[in-house]
Structure formats: C-alpha cells, structure tokens
Amino acid sequence: MSTEKHIYQPNPKFAKDAAINSMDAYWKLQNKAIEDYEGFWKGFADEKIDWLSAYNKVLDESNAPFYKWFTEGRLNVSNQCIDRHLADKAHKTAILFEGDRGEVEEITYAQLALHVNRMANLLRHEFNVQKGDRVVLYMPMIPEAAYAMLACTRIGAVHSIVFGGFSSEALKDRIEDAEAKVVITADGAYRKGKPYMLKQVVDAALEQGGESIEAVIVVKRNNEPIEWVEGRDHNYNALIESQHSECPFELMDSEDPLFLLYTSGSTGKPKGVQHSTAGYILWAQMTMEWVFDIKDDDVFWCTADIGWITGHTYIIYGPLAAGTTTVMFEGVPTYPDAGRAWKMVQDHKITQFYTAPTAIRVLHKMGEDEPKKYDLSSLKILGTVGEPIDPPAWKWYYETVGNSNCAIVDTWWQTETGGHIISPLPGATPIKPGCATFPLPGIMTEILSYDGVVKKASEPGLLCITKPWPSMIRNIWGDPERYVKAYFSDVEKDGKAVYFSGDGAVQDEDGYITIVGRVDDVINVSGHRMGTAEIEAAVKKDDHVAEVAVVSRPHELKGESIFIYIVLKEGHINKNIKEHINEVLCSEIGNIAKADHIIEVPGLPKTRSGKIMRRILRSIAKDEEITQDISTLEDPSIVEEIIKKAREA
C-alpha cells in the first residue's frame, strides 16, 4: 500500500492553526520526550488534568511491567469530562444524539451533569454500588449509556461494557470474570427502523449464571414487551426522576481502575483489559487535541459503538475531556439509504468524521456518488481505525468525501493502548495513503525481531512500544501472569521486556510505518477482533465435532472473514454443517463470529508430533499455492483432499 507514490501535504488552510502545525513542531515535541521522558509527560499532566490532589512521581517503573503513572495523584474523570467545563461551557452541547429514526436530542454540559449526577446517586444509594465495584453495561447507543459510564466514574465504580452484539453466553462469561454487581441495560433500541431487543439476552445470561449480579437496571427505549424478574429488575425511568441532582464525586487515585474492556487474544478466553484513571484520560484528551485538532466550535463524530475501545475513548472520554460536542448515533450509516452518514454530516455541520475502513468500503460500494448530494464543506479531518485501509477506499474517502481538502488520519492503536499510538497529525504530516505514518509525540515505537534487533527499512518486523506510556493497559483483570505473558514475554530489547502489540509492521526509508496486520492468531473481521482459539473453543462445544481449525480469508468488504475447517466425529454426517456451526457460534459468541466458510474435511494437516500446520490451512483459505514443505506431514495426501474440498465450497 505504501508503494502509492503520491504524498498528500496538509491543507494549509487548516494547518496554520493546528495544535501541531509542522513536522518541525512534531520533532521538537518528540525530541523533548526522548531527552526528558518524565518531564515531557509532567508538562502535559500538569496542564491538562484537573488534579484534586498532586501526584508525587510521574512514572514508577519499580514493578515493571506493572507501571504506575502519576502516583498518589487524585482526580475524578467525570469532573475532568463535565464539572470543570461548567463554568464556561454549561450551555454548549456535550452530546448530540441522533436516533435511528432521525430524532435529534442535544444534551448540554449542564444537562449532562444533571443526568450523570442522578444516575450516580441511583447507583450509589439505591443499589449500594461502591468504589471499586464492577458494573456491566449491555446497552444500545443511547445517551443513557454515556450517563451510565460517567456515573460509574463519578462514584469510582469500574464499568465493563459488553458490546450489544455479543450473545448471552459471552455476556455471562464477562459478568462472571469481572464478578459484577449490577447490569445496566435497556429493553432494546432501534436499528434500521425496527426495534431490536437486549433485555432478553441479559435474562438468558443470568439464567445461565452470573450469580454475583444483585440488580438489573433497565432503561426503557423502545417499550417493547419484556420479561420482568421481580426483586432483580428495576425500571430506570421510574427511579431516576427522584434522584438528587447533585452527587459528590469520589477522589480517585491515578492508578485506580477506570474500566475493564474484554478483548480477544491469541489464546484462551477473552481478556479483561484494565485501564487506569489518570493516564487514560490524559491521553484520551491529548489525542483529541492533536490528532483531531479539536477547536471550540467543532462537532466531532466517531461512528463506533461504545462497546469497543474506539467508542470509549473517542465518543465519550476523549471528546468530553476536551470539552467538545460529540455525536452519538443509534443507527447504521446506510439506513434508510447510503446517504445517511453524509446527511448527518450536513445537518450537524460535522467537522471531524471518524470511522472504520469496512464502513468506508460499504458506503463506497453502496453509494459512490452519494456524498456529492450533500454539503460536506464543514469537514476538516477524516479518520480511520481498526484495520488497514486499502488504496481505493482511501482515495474515495479523500477525494469524494473530503473533496480533496481534508487530512486523513489513519490511526493505529488497540484496546490495550487506550488511545492513538501511530497516526498522522492533520496539520503536520505529509500523508502516504495506507500508512499510519509516525508514532505520536511521547510514544516510542520500534519494529523489532523476536530477539530485539531493530529491523532495517523495508524489512517487516514486530511492532513494539519500547517505553511505557500513560494510557497503556495496566493489567488483565484477575490475571497478572497472563498480562505479563501476553504483552511482555515475546520481545526483549537490551535485556528489558518491551510491549509487543501482536501486529507486524514495516518502516520505509522515510521512517513511515505501515501496519501489516496481526502476526498472532487473532483475526480482524470488519474491525472486530477475535481470537481463532476462542472461535475454535466455541465450535468444539458441538458434540459432532472431532477437530477444528480456524483461519482467516481476505474479504472485499470486511477485510477478513472467518474460514473454518471441521473434522466430524466418526459416524457423524451433517448435511447442514455450515448453518449448524454458525448457530453454535452465534450462541456462544454472537453474530460477529459467524463464519463465511465452513468446510468439512477428512483430517487436518499435522506434523508427526501432532501439531496442526496452520500455515498450510491459511494458504488454502486464501487460495494460494502451497509453498511449505509438506513431506514432513503425518499424511501429506490430506493436503490435496483439503484443497479439493475448499475449492468445492
């Protein structure tokens, strides 16, 4: 992708007032960080955070890799995002909500304060939610989801949002792992003009387990009939009005956990990524200011769901900490037609639009000329995240959506990094399409080999972050050993374990970084991250299955799709194996885990020691020639049979 020759310079109209307005300014900041790392971060922490009690040390590395930032400092994230803005922004719109059916609600910072205070009181006084307690949110994209997140931070509870597309089984597992006390949900919401239901998934999860849950708080959104468990279920709408409008916030320690967010790894069950209070909110705010170059009158729209990290950092925490107007959208950008997103940009005069390459590809395919029907002149910056962006999608985004005026910020980061890590700066970075470009100031990335040797230009290697940074993951909930093993055991540099992202990357002669994709067993379908081991474990729950191997296959719209090889137990025949396995995946994980290809094979290619040769299976799924030596396989003839089956499928 970086072979694309053209380099796109920042638009001088926007660049002149940008927070970082030249590569010189970038290097000045980055060199400061290189020379005096702690001094660099101290400067920003002092400037940006409303400290309620001073911290005593910028970075404590004494128990690496369990790093601590801004030790002993006290702050509160709901204060950082709401209260401190009330003096001058009380009447500014904080959240601009647009429902699936087009209704718009503008919630000012003052109104947001009221909603959040009430919800915090509800949790604290009616349900005895205390500092440190875990609260699971299984919510649609409605303002109450934002209130719930901020209410948790206000009283020091730790939220764990479970994406609404996950199944009851997946929800139950996450509730149990976090030992959550309360679930906040809604009866349902609207999608593509129709109601869809969430509460019944919570009911099913709690039938299967989740013993720690004392109460389920239900927001009424679509008023469809739902089951009600007396004593356990509570009607938010009936309770909220009587809550006091003021709720004093907890003084949180910099390192107190702010939230958990489960994500997939290459092995085992999903990991509860634990983020901290001070470091996370500092970087969420700084990246809003640098990467999205937020100005006072901007209207910022990130199309993610709050169930993913992008929604956490760039719908709620980053925009509100930066005091901007953030758009929250319940629906999908292609309903009622492929112009919906562009109509919203026009109607709300959106200045920054942030989405995933999958969405860009779908919008391009469904309505190539659709953007031209709307006035998109308010746009200044276009962002992408979650997957590599291919040149045709990039070009269309730049030329047709951005009218060749807007910088495209291709932001590389992860659930674990909390906020952007590698990204162009819209007023500074000359952009090469498909390229995430440079680490942000303060972030030290290197492309290394497994033994810590720095790769030369054009040589692909492992994308590592060699110094701790404030918004980094702090732990895997309840499993510190796994934290060390998953992130700090693969790559060592100068005798010190460094953070390995799981991604491969390559740097060109000019230092531009291009992300190559995951090098571990994690696949990325439409920007949704899933572990092959997790999918295999779900498939194995089916009684008919003897063996299973999951790989990915390139997909025109989704980036990657799931490809499953199955060996059935002897004597089992199942003509509807594809439908059947997909049902299992939907119930074990959720709709996002549905496979495009499921093929039944007589056996898997294994070495004599019984190890599955996944590389061969990956090549077959991609319809590539097999270049590996197959003579060492236990049964080399199996490869031909698998290829035949794959071609028939």
Enumerate binding residues for ligand PRX (CB under 6 A). 263, 309-310, 385-388, 410-415, 436, 501-503, 515, 517-518, 524, 529
Unique residue bearing structure tokens 């089916």: 542
Nearest approach, Cβ of 424 to ligand PRX (angstroms)?
10
SS3 319: helix
Q: Residue 166 or residue 249: which is nearer to ligand PRX going by CB? A: 166
ω into residue 319 within 30 of 0, thus cis?
Answer: no
Nearest approach, Cβ of 276 to ligand PRX (angstroms)?
17
Nearest approach, Cβ of 115 to ligand PRX (angstroms)?
27
Q: Could you give the count of Cα atoms lying within 13 Å of 532 in the half-sphere of its Cβ?
A: 21
Q: Residue 206 or residue 261: which is nearer to ligand PRX going by CB? A: 261
Q: Please report the beta strands in 287-330, taking only residues with DSSP state E, as ranges in sequence order.
A: 299-302, 325-329
* Phi, then psi, of 31 in degrees rounded to 5: -65, -35
Unique residue bearing structure tokens 């390559």: 506
Nearest approach, Cβ of 415 to ligand PRX (angstroms)?
3
Residues 6+ away with beta carbon under 8 Å from 39: 32
ω into residue 441 within 30 of 0, thus cis?
Answer: no
Buried b (16+ CB within 10 A) or exposed e, 86-119: eeebeebbbbbbbbbeeeeeebbbebbbbbbbbb
Nearest approach, Cβ of 503 to ligand PRX (angstroms)?
5
Q: Residue 73 or residue 265: which is nearer to ligand PRX going by CB? A: 265
Unique residue bearing structure tokens 């009939």: 225
Q: Residue 346 or residue 415: which is nearer to ligand PRX going by CB? A: 415
Nearest approach, Cβ of 31 to ligand PRX (angstroms)?
25
CA angle 425, 431, 434 (to 5 degrees): 110
Report how far apart, in Å, the C-alpha atoms of 402 and of each of 212, 352, 394 are. Answer: 49, 10, 10
Nearest approach, Cβ of 313 to ligand PRX (angstroms)?
8
Q: Residue 127 or residue 412: which is nearer to ligand PRX going by CB? A: 412
CA distance 252 to 255: 8
Q: Residue 448 or residue 515: which is nearer to ligand PRX going by CB? A: 515
Q: Supply the DSSP symbol for 467.
A: S
SS3 88: helix
Q: Residue 277 or residue 355: which is nearer to ligand PRX going by CB? A: 355
Nearest approach, Cβ of 166 to ligand PRX (angstroms)?
13
Distance of CA 447 to the CA centre of its chain: 23
Nearest approach, Cβ of 221 to ligand PRX (angstroms)?
26
In 3D space, the residue among 538, 532, 539, 508 whose CA is nearest the CA of residue 518 turns out to be: 532
Residues 6+ away with beta carbon under 8 Å from 179: 134, 212
Q: Residue 385 or residue 428: which is nearer to ligand PRX going by CB? A: 385
Amino acid letter at 378?
A: S
Q: Residue 202 or residue 515: which is nearer to ligand PRX going by CB? A: 515
Q: Supply the DSSP symbol for 453.
A: P
Q: Residue 55 or residue 262: which is nearer to ligand PRX going by CB? A: 262
With CB atoms as reference, the residue minimizing the distance to ligand PRX is 415
Q: Residue 293 or residue 387: which is nearer to ligand PRX going by CB? A: 387
**Token pair recorded at residue 149:** 């997140």
Nearest approach, Cβ of 522 to ligand PRX (angstroms)?
7
Nearest approach, Cβ of 303 to ligand PRX (angstroms)?
12
CA distance 460 to 454: 10
